[in-house]
A and B are shown apart, each in its own frame.
Chain A
């Protein structure tokens, strides 16, 4: 067989070119490999790490809040929340649809929460809380589709006292962006105190977040735990509140609108602090339903306001003991000085009527307090003038915040000519001074201010700083009021309850402790002759006030009660105060229902001059 060798040179030339191309390609691949692995290796390693590591926040349980005996006012219970890892989201719309179907909120709210979570995409955000078992099961069943979601066990606030402690404890709310920037311990979606004790003592109750670093696979399943930084739970907060007193106050106030403050006059330790109507604190313990929020905001009774420290009321007759003490102290009045009450007083040519049209006859300071005689205080106001009156009020702490350890306290109003010109744009009229003498007109105080003022009346003349936590206490400041003046006023207040003609003498029947105090009824609209308060529409009825204390001889507790549109201080507010005082001193408050009380026992409203039209001043 003869073989003709092919001329292979062209083929070989072209093969050689392919060879060169192939080698060149391999050098390019090698260069790329060098860049990726050796030059950029660290960077890719970090990405690989963040791929597989998940930082789970471990929420610190908030500290318990207990009363003075250690009984819980707020405690924690286990709950489940849903975390969203924004970086893991594959299809945002799909996730939003899933979350909406899950029923955690309506679509707009879900969309908003997801959008907020995306802004801090390196951190997981709480997207829902208080998950039901069905919701947890649904999340678990869709684990593979939505690896950005994770159910996380946590704790949730629970409220043994229910709405009774709502304002005292306050609301939790999601941390805001500005607060987030200030405090590294906080993270998006975390709940922080927004009001009440939760806000004031956030730094104690809040604790410090922990971290759990886990390794996950591409499906987001936890493979192993790499490191754990345990959260530091919030510290417990022991308050001066007495849960029994708080409950008694809540029970006595059922169905009413107003506030109760009870405190120890010797130290300022608050035993009860109630504002009604209240909100349901359970619904503020997590994500707030917008509908519930709108309902609260739209409610004309303002259930979100803590009336005990934020609402301003004309003190009415409850101002009288303060003015009496001031007058006795600086000699404006001697204990024996008296006036003759005919039921009406002519001052500056205008008639000022005492609440009792038939008059009280001759009254000295004790009797004036006992019977709440307006005439006595009209004359006093006329004689000393606005400056002295308001100086006495300021001595008792009116017109400025008491400094209680709750946020948002109102300062109240003690008027002056300067104030009148600045705020109302008119000069102060002398006639107004006469009204202020019976606590009407432009004079406003909060229930806590009244309680503090009365504490000074009964503790030897010291202005205490009211507080809910012992650490917030301050040494009482002496007011310089002489003991004799205070004793005389106390004698008057004792007669309010135990005197024959006392405006709250119905309370005398109550079992010990012996209590004393002062009624107040402030008119909301101008009085119409011959109309009983029970017949007025609710919103036109008078505010009923009572500030009392017990035991009378050595007071351990002062209570201020305001019942908005409640009617009369003596028949409505005083029994509530009686129950609270009884609870505070361990006694039972029996037979203290307003029903069956005689009309005369109550005190109709103090009357401003006829030409003054009263109005609700808050």
Chain B
């Protein structure tokens, strides 16, 4: 069968995560009394699977050549949104026509990864120099800044892993890493002082000291930990977790969806999902290792780094190991744009895998 040309492990992992995603959304849809959530998620997951296969059978090198044009288009869209998009939940991050709509920033990230891969691949044998670093940084920073202005800090932050991975895979020398680290620290300090809103600072402080304001900012993390812990070994049964069903769990269909799954399916179910994610991410890196060219290796590696970072950070947040940042869990969290973007990225990796042998 023709599908065999794709990576079966990646496809299987996608399928497992998608099933878990639907079940978890089905449960939280009941809790939130919005049955449409689970059916829409199902549609997006099926669409995502189709997209992954379709992109998998395309040529990632063609997409890379289109990347500069797509990138320019992305910047135009993001700029336009700052002016035109309606404010929803305090941010201009969503556009739509009628009931169809989405967050373009999710798709922009894929375009940025393609362009970053293209640039990193151009270095060929040479190691990245300062000019290369600046070029890569500028490419990532422009859309990141536009998204941060929406303001959607969570999504903006997910661009960072891609940039770092590109620099890393591009072969940035150590002294530049050190300089970059110092710059990042300075930027973080400046961001703390001028950019972060008081509630965002409070979240970070809450994470560092969990006893701080247990009823205010710490509430989400505490409820999340209770939900996960209460799941025990085998869970409380689908749609039977009291933390989610009685809505103690905040943002349960988006940021904290993993807590719903962990509460209702316990350590067994959570480990299964964790394993599926591990397989999916490991396969992305293995695809990068198997890539025929630098472009494929960097693109697959960047996709792997981005999805790993987002997954690990979200899970760390749900499990109380990281502050609440509004980072969603790829494929599991509710949202069509995110699923579509993730599927396109996985499809690119599938393409890299399918074309891993030279002269195909």
Q: A and B: real partners?
A: yes
List residues of chain A with CB under 8 Å of any chain B CB. 3, 5-8, 10-12, 14-16, 18-19, 21-23, 25-26, 28-30, 32-34, 36-38, 40-45, 47-49, 51-52, 89-90, 215-219, 223
Q: Which stretch, B64-72, B102-110, B315-323, touches the partner chain A?
A: B315-323
A476 to chain B, nearest CB (A): 65
When the two chains form their complex, are residues B246 and A217 in contact, meaning their CB atoms are under 8 A apart?
A: yes
B267 neighbours in A (Cβ, 8 Å):
33-34, 37-38
Write out the residue numbers on chain A whose beta carbons fall within 8 Å of the beta carbon of B282: 19, 22-23
Give chain A nearest CB distance to B48 CB in angstroms.
22
Q: Measured between alpha carbons, how far is A90 from B291 in the docked complex, in Å?
A: 55
| Most B-side CB within 10 Å, residue of A15, A19, A29, A215 | A15
Most buried by A among B125, B226, B289: B226
Known: A14-B169, A25-B308, A219-B247. A48 touches B271 (CB 8 A): no
A-B contacts, 6 listed (Cβ < 8 Å): A26-B312, A30-B271, A36-B228, A48-B243, A48-B248, A89-B215
Binds A, one of B9-17, B184-192, B230-238: B230-238
Closest to B307 in A: A22
| Known contacts A22-B304, A23-B278; is-contact A41 B285 (Cβ 8 Å) | no
Tell me which of B223, B233, B304 contacts A41 (CB under 8 A): B233
B171 to chain A, nearest CB (A): 5
Complex interface: chain A residues within 8 A of B2 (CB): none
- Evaluate whether A33 and B271 lie within 8 angstroms (CB atoms) in the complex, with A18-B304, A26-B312 already known: yes
| Minimum distance in angstroms from B360 CB to a CB of chain A | 11
Per the bound structure, the CA–CA distance linking A236 and B297 in Å amounts to: 87
A474 to B359, CA, bound (A): 116
CB < 8 Å neighbour of B232 from A25, A41, A217? A41
Nearest 8 A/B pairs, CB to CB: A44-B229, A41-B232, A48-B230, A19-B285, A217-B246, A218-B247, A37-B267, A22-B308
Cα distance A3–B355 when bound, in Å? 14
Please, which residues of chain A bring their CB within 8 A of the CB of B215?
A: 89-90
Instruction: Report if A37-B247 is in contact (Cβ < 8 Å); known contacts: A6-B293, A14-B171, A43-B229.
Output: no
Q: Helix, strand, loop or mixed for chain B's interface?
A: helix
Main secondary structure of the interface of A (DSSP, over half): helix
CA distance A45 to B165 in the complex (A): 40
Instruction: Give the chain B neighbours of A42 by CB distance below 8 A.
Output: 232
Q: Collect the chain A residues with CB atoms within 8 Å of residue B62's CB.
A: none
Query: At the interface, yes or no: B262 with Cβ under 8 Å from chain A?
Result: yes
Q: Give chain B's interface residues, CB within 8 Å of chain A.
A: 121, 124-125, 165, 168-169, 171, 215-216, 223, 225-233, 242-243, 246-248, 262, 266-267, 270-271, 274, 277-278, 281-282, 285-286, 288-289, 291-294, 297-298, 301, 304-305, 308, 312, 315-316, 319-321, 358-359
Q: What chain A residues lie within 8 Å of B308 (beta carbons)?
A: 18, 21-22, 25
Q: Are B247 and A15 interface neighbours, CB within 8 A? A: no
Within the assembled complex, what's the spacing in Å between the Cα atoms of A12 and B232?
40
Query: Can you name the residue of chain B whose Cβ is closest to the Cβ of A12?
Result: B289
A6 and B124 contacting across the interface, CB-CB below 8 Å: yes
How far, in whole Å, are A43 and B248 apart by their CA atoms in the complex? Answer: 17
Closest B-chain residue to A21, C-beta based? B308
B229 in complex: contacting residue of A15, A36, A216, CB < 8 Å? A36
Question: How distant is the Cα of A45 from the Cα of B358 in the complex, in angstroms?
Answer: 56
Report the minimum CB–CB distance from A145 to chain B (whole Å).
14
Question: Within the assembled complex, what's the spacing in Å between the Cα atoms of A10 and B262?
Answer: 39
Determine the chain B residues whose CB is within 8 A of the CB of A22 once the complex forms.
278, 281-282, 285, 304, 308, 312
Q: In this complex, what residue of A is CB-closest to B232? A: A41
Residues of B close to A12: CB separation below 8 A = 288-289, 297
In the complex, what distance in Å separates the CA atom of A408 from the CA atom of B230?
55
Roughly how many angstroms separate A604 CA and B32 CA in the complex, as a whole number? Answer: 87
- Contact of B225 (CB < 8 Å), options: A8, A44, A45: A44
Q: From known contacts A11-B297, A12-B297, A30-B271, infer whether A37 and B285 are also in contact, taking CB-CB under 8 Å.
A: no
Task: Indicate if the CB atoms of B281 and A37 lie closer than 8 Å.
Answer: no
Chain A residues with CB below 8 A from B301, complex form: 11, 14-15, 18
Given contacts A38-B267, A42-B232, 9 further A-B contacts (CB under 8 A): A16-B289, A18-B285, A22-B304, A29-B321, A30-B271, A37-B266, A51-B246, A90-B216, A217-B247
Using known A-B contacts A25-B308, A48-B226, determine if residue A33 contacts B246 with beta carbons closer than 8 Å: no
Question: Chain B nearest CB: distance from A421 CB in Å?
Answer: 67
Question: Across the interface, do A8 and B247 meet the contact criterion of CB distance under 8 Å?
Answer: no
**Which B residues lie within 8 Å of A52 (CB)?**
242, 246, 248
Query: Distance in Å from the Cβ of A51 to the closest Cβ of chain B?
Result: 5
B312: which A residues are within 8 A, CB to CB?
Answer: 22, 25-26, 29
In the complex, which residues of chain A have a beta carbon less than 8 angstroms from the beta carbon of B242?
Answer: 48-49, 51-52, 215
Say yes or no: A18 contacts B226, CB within 8 Å: no
CA distance A59 to B346 in the complex (A): 62
How far apart sit A41 and B227, CA to CA, in the bound complex (Å)?
A: 10
The distance in angstroms between the C-alpha atoms of A42 and B229, with both chains bound, is 8
Could you tell me if B270 and A37 are in contact, using CB atoms closer than 8 angstroms?
yes
By a CB distance below 8 angstroms, the chain B residues around A41 are 229-233
> Judging by beta carbons under 8 Å apart, are B319 and A15 in contact?
no
Least distance between B307 CB and chain A CB atoms (Å): 9
- Shortest A121–chain B CB gap in Å is 12
- Candidates B246, B262, B294; contact of A215 at CB < 8 Å: B246
* Chain B hits for A49, CB < 8 A: 242
A29 touching B232, Cβ below 8 Å: no
| In contact, B227 and A48 (Cβ under 8 angstroms) | yes
Q: Are B274 and A15 in contact (CB under 8 A)?
A: no
Distance between Cα atoms of A44 and B319 in the complex (Å): 13
Q: A14-B171, A37-B231 are in contact. Are A216 and B316 (CB under 8 A)?
A: no
Q: Within 8 Å CB of B285, what residues of A?
A: 15-16, 18-19, 22
Q: Report Cα–Cα, A380/B278, bound state, in Å.
A: 112
* B125 adjacent to A51 (CB under 8 Å): no
A7 contact from B125, B231, B262, B270, Cβ within 8 A: B125
Known: A7-B125, A22-B281. A29 touches B316 (CB 8 A): yes
Are A3 and B271 in contact, CB atoms less than 8 angstroms apart? no
**Given A15-B289, A26-B278, A52-B248, is A33 in contact with B228 using a C-beta cutoff of 8 Å?**
yes
> Which of B216, B267, B320 has its CB near the most chain A CB atoms (within 10 A)?
B267
Residues of B within 8 A of A29 (CB): 274, 312, 315-316, 319, 321
Give Cα A109 to B81, complex, Å.
Answer: 54
Cα of A554 to Cα of B341 in the assembled complex, Å: 106
Name the residue on A nearest B293 (C-beta).
A6
Check A18/B358 contact, CB under 8 A, given A26-B312, A44-B228, A45-B232: no
Distance A49 CA – B226 CA, assembled complex (angstroms): 10
For B168, give its contact among A6, A14, A25 (CB under 8 Å): A14
The answer, among A34, A51, A89, for a CB contact under 8 Å with B248, is A51
Complex contacts, B292 vs chain A, CB 8 Å: 5
Q: Is the CB of B232 within 8 A of A37?
A: yes
Query: Do A10 and B291 touch (CB < 8 A)?
Result: no
A11-B230 contact in complex given A22-B285, A34-B267, C-beta closer than 8 Å: no
A7 to B297, alpha carbons, bound, how many Å? Answer: 11
Q: Given the complex of chains A and B, what is the CA–CA distance between A40 and B315 in angstroms?
A: 18
Shortest CB distance A13–B (Å) = 10
Flag if B243 contacts A51 (CB, 8 Å): yes
- In the complex the two chains form, is A11's CB within 8 Å of B169's CB? yes
CB distance from A96 to the nearest CB of B (A): 16
B229 to A6, Cβ gap below 8 A?
A: no
Closest to B359 in A: A3
Contact A5 B358 (CB under 8 A): yes
Residues of A within 8 A of B298 (CB): 11
Give Cα A68–Cα B266 distance, bound, in whole angstroms.
66
Does the CB pair B274–A30 fall under 8 Å? yes
Check B225–A6 contact: CB distance below 8 A: no
Residue B246 contacts which of A5, A25, A30, A216 (CB distance < 8 angstroms)? A216
Q: Is the CB of A45 within 8 A of B246?
A: no
Q: For the complex, give the distance between the alpha carbons of A21 and B169 in Å.
A: 14
Which residues from chain A contact B226 at a C-beta distance below 8 Å?
Answer: 44, 47-48, 51
**A218 contacts B225, CB within 8 Å?**
no
Alpha-carbon distance between A483 and B285 when the two chains are bound, in angstroms: 117
Identity of the chain B residue whose Cβ is nearest the Cβ of A217 in the assembled complex: B246
> Which residues from B are CB-within-8-Å of A18?
165, 168-169, 285, 301, 304-305, 308
